[in-house]
A and B are shown apart, each in its own frame.
Chain A
Amino acid sequence: DTGVSQDPRHKITKRGQNVTFRCDPISEHNRLYWYRQTLGQGPEFLTYFQNEAQLEKSRLLSDRFSAERPKGSFSTLEIQRTEQGDSAMYLCASSTPLAGGRETQYFGPGTRLLVL
Chain B
Amino acid sequence: TQLLEQSPQFLSIQEGENLTVYCNSSSVFSSLQWYRQEPGEGPVLLVTVVTGGEVKKLKRLTFQFGDARKDSSLHITAAQPGDTGLYLCAGFMNYGGSQGNLIFGKGTKLSVKP
Contact = CB atoms under 8 A, between A and B. Distances in A.
A100 interface: yes
A109 B42 CA distance: 5
Contacts of B90: 42-43
Contact of B41 (A41, A106, A110): A110
Contacts of B91: 101
Main secondary structure of the interface of B (DSSP, over half): loop
Interface string A87-116: 000010100010111111111111010000
Interface of A is mostly: loop
Given A42-B90, A42-B107, A105 B40 contact: no
A4 interface: yes
Interface string A54-68: 001010000000000
Given A42-B105, A42-B106, A44-B104, A112 B45 contact: no
Given A40-B106, A42-B107, A101 B42 contact: no
B62 to A, nearest CB: 20
Given A42-B104, A45-B102, A101 B45 contact: no
Nearest to B86: A42
B45 A45 contact: no
Interface string B29-47: 1110000000011111100
- Interface footprint category on A: 20 to 34
30 contacts: A4-B42, A35-B104, A40-B106, A41-B106, A43-B43, A43-B88, A43-B90, A43-B104, A44-B104, A45-B102, A58-B101, A91-B43, A93-B42, A99-B99, A100-B30, A101-B30, A101-B48, A101-B50, A102-B31, A102-B48, A102-B50, A103-B102, A104-B48, A105-B45, A106-B45, A107-B42, A107-B44, A109-B41, A110-B40, A112-B40
